[in-house]
C-alpha cells in the first residue's frame, strides 16, 4: 500500500489578515516616500535653523567674545545688563518699533493701491507690474547707496534749481528727516512685493458679486470696503506678517543710508546687535540681545496673525 506524502502548509490567511498586511505595507511605503521628500529639508532646517538658535540661547548666558576658546558661564548677567545699563539698545528698540509701524502702514497702502490700479483693464499693466516689482530685486545695500546719493546730491541739486524747501532739507543729516528717509526707501523697495500678493488675491474675487452689488447701487467705496477687502483678508494677513518681520529686521538699508546716525538716532536693533557682537567683541551680550529681539518680534507677529485671522473668520 502506497502512502502519499503530505505537504505541510501554514495556516490559511483570512481576507481580513491579507488586508491588514497590505495596509501595513502601504503605510510603510508612504512613510518611506514621506521621509525621502521631507527628510532632507527637515535635516537642513534642524542644522541651519534650530541648532544655531539653541547654540545662541546657550551663548547668551556666557561672556564669550566670539574668538576665544574659553567660554565663561555668567547666567543672567547679560540680560540684567541689557535692562539696567544699556540705554542705546532701548533707544534702538524704540526707533525700530516706530519705524515698523510707519513702514508697515505705508508699504501696504502703496502695495494695495498698486494692486487695485493694475487689477483694472490697463493695456500696460504687465509692464507696470514689472516696473513696480523691480526695486524688490535690487539688493538692500546697493539700493541704500543709490538712495543716499539721491538724498544727498540729487535732492540738493533740485532744491537749488527750484528753491523748493522739500528738496533742501537735510534728509540724512537730521533725526526726523533721516527716519522718514529710511521709511521712504523701505516702502519703495517692498511695495512691489506686497503688490504681487494683493494682485493675486484680487484676481480670486468673484466678479459676479461685484456686478450684483453695482446693480443694487453700491458705490466704488462700498464695493472696496464691504466686499473686496473682507474677501481678501487672508492676503492682508500675509502682507502684514511679512512687512512687520522685514521692518523689524531692517539692517542693510539702515546701515547703507545712515549707518545708524546721526548720533545713533536711526540705529535699528539689528545694527545694535551687530556692533555689540562683532565690533565690541561681546558675543554673549549680543546674542542675549538677539534672543530678546526674537521674543519681541515673535510676540508682535503672533498677535498680528491672531488678530487678522479673527477678522477673517468674522468676515
pLDDT for residue 10 is more than 80: no
What's the whole-number mean pLDDT along residues 98-113?
Answer: 94
Please tell me the distance from the alpha carbon of residue 225 to that of residue 236, in angstroms, as a whole number: 13
- CA neighbor of 182 nearest in space, from 264, 275, 256, 91: 256
Q: Who contacts 134 (Cβ-Cβ below 8 Å, separation ≥6)?
A: 192
Supply the pLDDT for residue 18. 67
DSSP letter assigned to residue 279: I
Contacts by residues 168-177 (CB-CB < 8 Å, ≥ 24 positions apart): 172/148, 172/257, 172/258, 173/262, 174/262, 175/262, 175/263, 175/265, 175/266
What's the whole-number mean pLDDT along residues 131-140?
Answer: 85
Poorest-confidence range of 17-21, 111-115, 122-126, 231-235?
A: 17-21
DSSP per-residue letters across 207-247:
HHHHHHHHHTT--HHHIIIIIIHHHTHHHHHHHHHHHHHHH
Domain positions in the chain: 10-59, 79-314
Please tell me the distance from the alpha carbon of residue 248 to that of residue 270, in angstroms, as a whole number: 8
Report the number of secondary-structure helices (H) and strands (E) in the chain.
16, 0
Supply the pLDDT for residue 25. 75
Q: Who contacts 23 (Cβ-Cβ below 8 Å, separation ≥6)?
A: none
Supply the pLDDT for residue 288. 93
Supply the pLDDT for residue 263. 85
Residues in a beta bridge with 73 = 62
C-alpha cell at 264: 545713533
Sign of torsion over alpha carbons 190, 191, 195, 197: positive
- Condensed to tens digits (0 to 9), the pLDDT of residues 216-229 reads 888 888 888 888 88
pLDDT for residue 197 is more than 90: yes
Other residues' Cβ atoms within 10 Å of the Cβ of residue 66: 14
- Condensed to tens digits (0 to 9), the pLDDT of residues 233-281 reads 999 999 999 999 999 999 989 999 888 888 888 999 999 999 998 888 8
Kindly report the backbone phi and psi dihedral angles of residue 62, in degrees, each rounded to the nearest multiple of 5, phi listed first: -125, 170
Q: Specify the CATH class of 79-314 in words.
A: mainly alpha
Supply the pLDDT for residue 142. 87
Supply the pLDDT for residue 193. 92
Mean pLDDT of the chain: 86
pLDDT for residue 180 is more than 60: yes
> Cβ distance 266 to 175 under 8 Å?
yes
pLDDT for residue 144 is more than 70: yes
Supply the pLDDT for residue 195. 92
End-to-end CA distance of the chain: 90
- Condensed to tens digits (0 to 9), the pLDDT of residues 151-165 reads 888 988 888 888 888
Please tell me the distance from the alpha carbon of residue 272 to that of residue 90, in angstroms, as a whole number: 10
Kindly report the backbone phi and psi dihedral angles of residue 73, in degrees, each rounded to the nearest multiple of 5, phi listed first: -80, 125
In Å, how far are 15, 51, 95, 201 from 248, measured between CA atoms? Answer: 61, 23, 10, 25
Amino acid at each position: 500500500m502506497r502512502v502519499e506524502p503530505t505537504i505541510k502548509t501554514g495556516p490559511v490567511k483570512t481576507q481580513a489578515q491579507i488586508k491588514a498586511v497590505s495596509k501595513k505595507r502601504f503605510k510603510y511605503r508612504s512613510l518611506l516616500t514621506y521621509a525621502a521628500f521631507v527628510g532632507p529639508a527637515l535635516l537642513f532646517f534642524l542644522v541651519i535653523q534650530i541648532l544655531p538658535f539653541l547654540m545662541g540661547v546657550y551663548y547668551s548666558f556666557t561672556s564669550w567674545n566670539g574668538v576665544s576658546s574659553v567660554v565663561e558661564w555668567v547666567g543672567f548677567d547679560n540680560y540684567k545688563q541689557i535692562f539696567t545699563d544699556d540705554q542705546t539698545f532701548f533707544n534702538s528698540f524704540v526707533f525700530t518699533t516706530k519705524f515698523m509701524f510707519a513702514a508697515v502702514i505705508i508699504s501696504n497702502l502703496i502695495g494695495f493701491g498698486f494692486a487695485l490700479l493694475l487689477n483694472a483693464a490697463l493695456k500696460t499693466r504687465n509692464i507696470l507690474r514689472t516696473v513696480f516689482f523691480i526695486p524688490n530685486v535690487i539688493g538692500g545695500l546697493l539700493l541704500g547707496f543709490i538712495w543716499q546719493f539721491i538724498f544727498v546730491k540729487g535732492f540738493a541739486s533740485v532744491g537749488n534749481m527750484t528753491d523748493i524747501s522739500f528738496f533742501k532739507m537735510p534728509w540724512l543729516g537730521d533725526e526726523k528727516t533721516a527716519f522718514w528717509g529710511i521709511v521712504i526707501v523701505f516702502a519703495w523697495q517692498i511695495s512691489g512685493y506686497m503688490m504681487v500678493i494683493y494682485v493675486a488675491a484680487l484676481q480670486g474675487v468673484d466678479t459676479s458679486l461685484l456686478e450684483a452689488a453695482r446693480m443694487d447701487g453700491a458705490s466704488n467705496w462700498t464695493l472696496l470696503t464691504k466686499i473686496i477687502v473682507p474677501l481678501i483678508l487672508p492676503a492682508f494677513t500675509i502682507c502684514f506678517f511679512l512687512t512687520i518681520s522685514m521692518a523689524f529686521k531692517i539692517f542693510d538699508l539702515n546701515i547703507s543710508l545712515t549707518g545708524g546716525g546721526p548720533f545713533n538716532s536711526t540705529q535699528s536693533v539689528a545694527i545694535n546687535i551687530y556692533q555689540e557682537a562683532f565690533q565690541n567683541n561681546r558675543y554673549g551680550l549680543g546674542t542675549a540681545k538677539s534672543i530678546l529681539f526674537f521674543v519681541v518680534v515673535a510676540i508682535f507677529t503672533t498677535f498680528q496673525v491672531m488678530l487678522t485671522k479673527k477678522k477673517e473668520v468674522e468676515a
